[in-house]
Structure 1
């Protein structure tokens, strides 16, 4: 992985560029690494500039964190973090902060100032903006999505509340599973093709949102079924309610206030809509600055408490444990953490009774916030989603283990 700290040869750049396709991007090969480090080269993108001054993050590096480990549900113990980092999951970078100071940072497969795609860890930004609008009374979480997105009126979204969309329990046939993503005729495969591939109809993904069909034996709120399409519906909601572009509102409420050292970039769908469900593109340190606003040490990066105590509580408790317990995703949480999370909430995949929350990203990205322990961590990686090839993504479990260790537990 260390070779990615140097510019790749021209021949590789030209060949990888010619080979770009959605399947190749998702394959976990060398081309994938190049794509994830250069998203604006493969998707039309918009950029939010950094502010003149950036927030300084003190370092208090704790080398002992390289020795942390944790147990799996079956009682087996994972190797020390130092060994895991050089394994098949191809972790490219990882940072942790405790009480507002960086206590761990490592960059096995990229440079500290390189940019990388967040993939689905991006979804937390949608959850935050919608939560803010709801907290301020601009959105009613119990109202149907079509109340705020006129183009979805007359579709099943008339029956899906904002809250259920936030919690990915919409009761329609849009779930991302290995089976559905492997089926070229599934609704979700058609959606991803439409949102990531140039087409004769650039807005086809919007039409597909209106056409998605309800599940015959399930109603909204019953089951957590993971789908990026839900997040993209929330992107449309934010733009309609604020009458601002997604990235402009994100900058106004968050990015311009955290002392980001670099710009925020986001890839666009064919029709120019930001893909807020997956294509955020920043340095890892700036992603950590974002994570810090969920902790008691928010003042390290911001002059104002962006995520107030009341807002944080709303985000932490929006989910439904019963919907989570019946989901496919609960098994991921158990494998990643070696324990069973309590529920999902507000676009975060896994939440715990102690208030910690985690969001995973395709091919091995992640963000973990643990307000109760004043801890947060982020990582970038590149590995196929086939666990039989790359193994289980245990980075989430190492972050949670580090939080507990630093808190003296």
Structure 2
């Protein structure tokens, strides 16, 4: 269903913003056919109606591994009466101006499709202005911690160490730039290779990032050849010493997928199903979308219902038993995430400055596929088109949202909401 790549320019069918309220009840036959036939890597980068449609219908355009919801779904307790009004009134300075949460969600420019907030396992806020609660939606890069989670489990089981080199587990990478990189340098995205994924590299026709995204969508790079992500990453070049600069990269996340498969002897979807999703009391399946060669696109092309994304977030808290039949994120793994291995200088020297600008508050740094971790334990992971997952483990706070704009204003509310939710009866925030 993919059309030829247009390297000259991004040409979305319609301009932003998307009226998500108008599409909430679905799409016409003509719209679905038109968007499906126009879906391509470059078109999706442009945002607009194509991206909005595709985010809800990826399985119509890509191979997909469906991980069933195997356990009865938990029933969340609700406490919106106490909290919803208070949270709606929380304000933040956003790219759309200073506004309250309620104003941000209702503003059509935010293209907010859905948002949910949990506190100690209770739903304290939930809204679906542009999506139905049973609809699945793209996680985008919010999915990156799923790739890290399997690695964390293997570390707990002593089947690998984060100080191991890539080549120790992937012999076919021996002698390559990435072969000498340690697993911790993959987790923290400091490999010192030309795999950087940024607005600039995504526009460069010969960049490693452009090549691996084309491969994922089955589109030719040059001379009609469709590459594989694995062979592209084997050809990555060295740009500096590992561990020196945080350079965001979906390709680096995929290296974790290859390592997890090598160590478990399972395909990534099977391993994630066995180790994680089959233990979650989810409402619906997790959709793991695949490249043409069957590679699981765990760096971001994953879909689920919003509540199930929130359930995934709750796995990283002491309240995990409310949504799972066993602890899949160990206390040791949470502790590793909470303490960035690489310095704040390494973070801010690279993409950390950009992430700090988005968030409006400077974190300690990035850590193990999470974009930002804070001194109070808060953890954030964002997605390219305005998706987000924020977790404050000890308070059981989870904020998850879907939208279809490159920079959702909701990102600026995460820390103010987190602080508001930790205040009890006029007491100071903990």
Q: TM-score, normalised by structure 2?
A: 0.89
Following superposition, the deviation at residue 330 of structure 1 comes to 2.5
The correspondence for 1:49, drawn from 57, 68, 71, is 68
Map Cα deviations across residues 246-304 of structure 1 (whole Å, 9 max, x no partner).
11111111111120111111110111111010111110001111101111211211232
Matched, 1:80 2:104: no
Q: Is the contact made by 2:118 and 2:124 (CA closer than 8 Å) also made in structure 1?
A: yes
The correspondence for 2:134, drawn from 92, 95, 113, is 113
1:79 alignment partner, SS class: strand
CA distance in 2, matches of 1:52, 1:374: 22
Map Cα deviations across residues 107-149 of structure 1 (whole Å, 9 max, x no partner).
1111000000101111010111111111221111111112111
Map Cα deviations across residues 168-225 of structure 1 (whole Å, 9 max, x no partner).
000011111222111112221112111222456665221110101011xx21000110
Runs of 4+ in structure 1 displaced over 6 angstroms? none
Matched, 1:212 2:211: no
CA distance in 2, matches of 1:232, 1:201: 21
2:65 alignment partner, SS class: strand
Aligned counterpart, 1:222: 244
CA distance in 1, matches of 2:110, 2:243: 34
CA distance in 2, matches of 1:67, 1:184: 45
CA distance in 2, matches of 1:306, 1:190: 34
Structure 1, unpaired ranges of 5+: 386-391
Matched, 1:24 2:43: yes
Following superposition, the deviation at residue 94 of structure 1 comes to 0.7
CA distance in 2, matches of 1:280, 1:116: 8
2:31 alignment partner, SS class: helix
CA distance in 2, matches of 1:316, 1:274: 27
Aligned counterpart, 2:177: 156
Q: Is the contact made by 1:22 and 1:197 (CA closer than 8 Å) also made in structure 2?
A: no
Q: Is the contact made by 1:36 and 1:117 (CA closer than 8 Å) also made in structure 2?
A: yes
Aligned counterpart, 2:117: 96
CA distance in 2, matches of 1:77, 1:92: 20
1:363 alignment partner, SS class: coil
CA distance in 2, matches of 1:106, 1:334: 26
Written as runs of structure 1 = structure 2, the 5 A alignment for 1:6-405 is 6-61=25-80, 62-64=83-85, 65-71=87-93, 78-87=98-107, 88-199=109-220, 204-215=228-239, 218-320=240-342, 321-336=344-359, 338-383=360-405, 385=406, 392-405=407-420
CA distance in 1, matches of 2:78, 2:123: 5
Aligned counterpart, 1:389: none
Q: Which range moved further: 172-181 or 313-322?
A: 313-322
Flag the 1:77–1:362 CA change in 2: closer, same or farther, 3 A: closer
Q: TM-score, normalised by structure 1?
A: 0.93
Where relative contact order (Cα < 8 A, 6+ residues apart) is larger, the structure is 1
Following superposition, the deviation at residue 52 of structure 1 comes to 4.3
CA RMSD in angstroms comes to 1.8
CA distance in 2, matches of 1:273, 1:213: 22
2:371 alignment partner, SS class: strand
Following superposition, the deviation at residue 375 of structure 1 comes to 0.6
Following superposition, the deviation at residue 51 of structure 1 comes to 1.2
